[in-house]
Amino acid sequence: MRELSIVLRQIAVERKNVWYSVLFGYIGGVTAAGLFAASGYLISKAALIPPVYTLTLLIAFIKVFGLVKAGSKYGERMVSHRATFNILAGIRVRFFEKLEPLAPGIFQKFRSGDLLARITGDVESLQNFFLRVYYPPLVLILVFISAMLFTTFYSFWFPLIFAAGLLLTGLIIPALFALRRQKIEEKVRESRAILSTDTAEVLYGFRDLKIYQQLDEKGASLRTSSAAYIANQEKSSSQSMFNQSVNQAAGLLISWVVLAAGVYLVQQDQLDGVFLAMLVMLSLNIFENAAPMAVLPPHLEDSRKASSRLNEVTDMVPATASEPYETLTDEAPSISFQSVSYTHEGEERPAVDQTSFEVKAGSKTAIVGASGSGKSTIFQLLLGVLRTNDGDIAIQDRSIRHIKSEDIWEKANVVMQENHFFYGTIRDNLQIAREGLTDEEMQWVLEKVQLSRFTLDDAVLEKGENLSGGERQRLAIARALLRKRSLWLLDEPLSSIDNVTSADIMRYLEERTEDATVCLISHQLNGLEKMDQIIVMDGGQIAEKGSYEELMTAKGMFYEMKKIEQEILV
Ligand SMILES: Nc1ncnc2c1ncn2[C@@H]1O[C@H](COP(=O)(O)OP(=O)(O)OP(=O)(O)O)[C@@H](O)[C@H]1O
């Protein structure tokens, strides 16, 4: 049951609606049984030609039962569904709250399609836990107990038959079917996850698949996984119908037993024959309600599996700061790396290996080096997205272990190689920089990054698909410029922009970041002359560091890189 804690906790929050569901369910069940029983009694009694007022009274009873039954069934549906939607909403919020701190590293463990299947399919399937597993058995047992108590007045045999029937239809038959259902439900879940993963891959990789003419092949594989999911769902539904029908047949059989017992008792003069139809009708009604119990174990199993899959994600321990928490001031920060090492999950070679360097407050540092030398990993460690395996990082002389990542993100302007853009307008994408931005401020900054040909109302498609790589980079810089922060982390922010535009924007950035601490990752070695410090990375380690002049005089790696760049440019 531990795995169901995610849903049980939300049910506890909804306990008022849960109790109402049970109450309305019980009233509905008892009045439905009363309606059937009174109808049976009315038919038998009418055959004996009683006084009219007896029949009138019985008809009035039936009408009242009918009305109360309809009202309470409606009430039960309403509160139980309200509870279910609230429970699902609560689970989704909880799941997202847990997911948020895991977000940067989550894709190392889960594929996005699989994660989507968990967030949508698994959460959705938990609706069956409350609606079919949690409260209906309670209602059923209460109605059965009431019916058994009622029939005790006629003979002790009836409650015994009812109890045996409840055992058969509520426990034995569902348990017998449970195993078969388990297998098919497992297949449904598996095929749903495969379909979701395949769909996400085709959607994300659509353009490349088209260019590499692999779309037909991927499309065919997607159709196969979709057909497998549909087939498994069909099998699951028909099996569920079959199980319910068998349980219903068992219920009818019990009603035959009630009839046979009743006939015997009438013959033995132990029961008035006028009650026979009433008892059979009562039995027919309550065993009809027991039929859905056949699908209870699979729903329970399904909910257990769905919860476990959700727990697999939420049980991941996020890389968080530990107490005592330290907060950063708004001043330009100093940064210090002390023998920092980090190895990405699943990798053997450290991406950053025993790296130490200092960045003075308000200084400008460039990090250069071959592709894969660990430059971006340094930024991720600095932002607290990744936590060091070894060594320590300090910002404003405070260990990053005690600084919440949100605090670092709050203080930093980050422009990465790839930045996310939302579906909407240029304005929507700039407004996330900070609250209260005016159109004038946004237009002004667009001019500064040479995007003045765009208006604030121009559309931006998902992930900025309708913008060129360079335009996306400039829009990301514009967004950062609007934030006005004292720490700038720029990871090749101008790599897709032509040299002239890039030099202009760089000049403007220099002006705007005069007092800020700037760390710039760059493949271009031009324009680094003004940097206070250049760090040259090689295979996760610092090969050399110093000012431009120092490195050029040392004639080391930087000097060689610069020579190669010049040869290429000539
Ligand atoms: N999420 C990840 N999972 C596993 N390995 C990773 C991950 N990200 C980076 N790496 C590995 O870590 C090493 C350093 O990568 P990093 O992105 O820091 O290099 P980089 O110097 O920024 O490269 P580039 O200049 O191409 O951006 C590389 O060998 C890379 O393959």
Q: Which atom of ligand 1 is nearest to the CA of 349?
A: 29
Nearest CA to ligand 1 atom 16: 374
The ipTM value here is 0.95
Mention every residue, 6+ apart, whose C-beta is less than 8 A from residue 303: 4, 7, 125, 126, 128, 129, 133
> Per the structure block, which two tokens stand in for 262?
């009743």
Ligand 1 site-directed mutation target among 111, 344, 521, most atoms within 8 Å of CB: 344
Mean pLDDT value across residues 516-525: 91
Ligand 1 site-directed mutation target among 109, 376, 522, 523, most atoms within 8 Å of CB: 376
**Beta carbons of 456 and 439 less than 8 angstroms apart:** yes
Give the pLDDT band of residue 265 (cuts 50, 70, 90): very high
Nearest CA to ligand 1 atom 25: 371
Q: Which CATH superfamily is domain 2-314 in?
A: ABC transporter type 1, transmembrane domain (1.20.1560.10)
495 CA to middle of ligand 1, Å?
A: 17
Nearest CA to ligand 1 atom 20: 372
Q: Which atom of ligand 1 is nearest to the CA of 380?
A: 18
539 CA to middle of ligand 1, Å?
A: 10
Q: Which atom of ligand 1 is nearest to the CA of 105?
A: 1
Q: String of b and e for 533-556 (b: at least 16 CB within 10 Å)?
A: bbbbbeebbbbbbbebeebeeeee
Q: What is the DSSP string of 200-224?
A: HHHHHTHHHHHHTT-HHHHHHHHHH
348 CA to middle of ligand 1, Å?
A: 13
Query: How many CB atoms are closer than 10 A to CB 91?
Result: 23
Q: String of b and e for 106-131 (b: at least 16 CB within 10 Å)?
A: beeebeebbbbbbbebbbebbbbbbb
pTM of the model: 0.66
Nearest CA to ligand 1 atom 18: 374
Nearest CA to ligand 1 atom 31: 372
Q: Is the model's pLDDT at 319 over the cut of 70?
A: no
**Beta carbons of 495 and 521 less than 8 angstroms apart:** no
Structure confidence at residue 570 (pLDDT): 58
Q: Is the model's pLDDT at 291 over the cut of 80?
A: no
Q: Which residues line ligand 1 (CB under 6 A)?
A: 108, 344, 347, 351, 369, 371-377
371 CA to middle of ligand 1, Å?
A: 8
Structure confidence at residue 158 (pLDDT): 94
Torsions phi, psi of 413, nearest 5? Answer: -105, 115
Nearest CA to ligand 1 atom 7: 344
- pLDDT > 70 fraction of the chain, expressed in percent and rounded: 98
Bond prior to 324 in cis (omega within 30° of 0) = yes
**Beta carbons of 294 and 174 less than 8 angstroms apart:** yes
Where do we find the tokens 């790296």?
A: 355
Q: Is the model's pLDDT at 437 over the cut of 70?
A: yes
Closest CA to 274 of 31, 47, 52: 47
User: According to CATH, what is the number of the domain 335-569?
Assistant: 3.40.50.300
Amino acid at 444: W
352 CA to middle of ligand 1, Å?
A: 9
Mean pLDDT value across residues 340-359: 92
Where do we find the tokens 């970041």?
A: 513
Q: Which atom of ligand 1 is nearest to the CA of 378?
A: 18
DSSP H helical ranges for 14-156: 15-47, 52-99, 112-117, 123-125, 127-128, 136-152
338 CA to middle of ligand 1, Å?
A: 20
Nearest CA to ligand 1 atom 6: 344
Domain ranges of the chain: 2-314, 335-569
Give the model confidence (pLDDT) of 113-165 as tens digits: 777 778 888 888 888 899 988 999 999 999 999 999 999 999 999 999 999 99
362: left (phi over 0), alpha (psi -120 to 50) or beta: left
DSSP H helical ranges for 205-275: 206-211, 215-267
Q: Which atom of ligand 1 is nearest to the CA of 377?
A: 18
372 CA to middle of ligand 1, Å?
A: 5
Mean pLDDT value across residues 337-361: 93
Give the model confidence (pLDDT) of 450-509 as tens digits: 998 999 999 999 888 899 888 999 999 999 999 888 999 999 988 888 888 888 888 888
**Beta carbons of 337 and 354 less than 8 angstroms apart:** no
Q: Is the model's pLDDT at 7 over the cut of 80?
A: yes
Q: Pairing state of beta strands 364-369 and 533-538?
A: parallel
> Per the structure block, which two tokens stand in for 103?
């977000």
Complete edge-to-edge strand list for the sheet that includes strand 487-491:
412-415, 487-491, 517-521, 364-369, 533-538, 541-546
524 CA to middle of ligand 1, Å?
A: 18
Calpha distance 463→57 (Å, rounded): 72
Give the model confidence (pLDDT) of 35-80 as tens digits: 999 999 999 988 888 888 888 998 998 999 999 999 999 999 999 9
Averaged pLDDT of the chain:
89
Q: Is the model's pLDDT at 105 over the cut of 80?
A: no
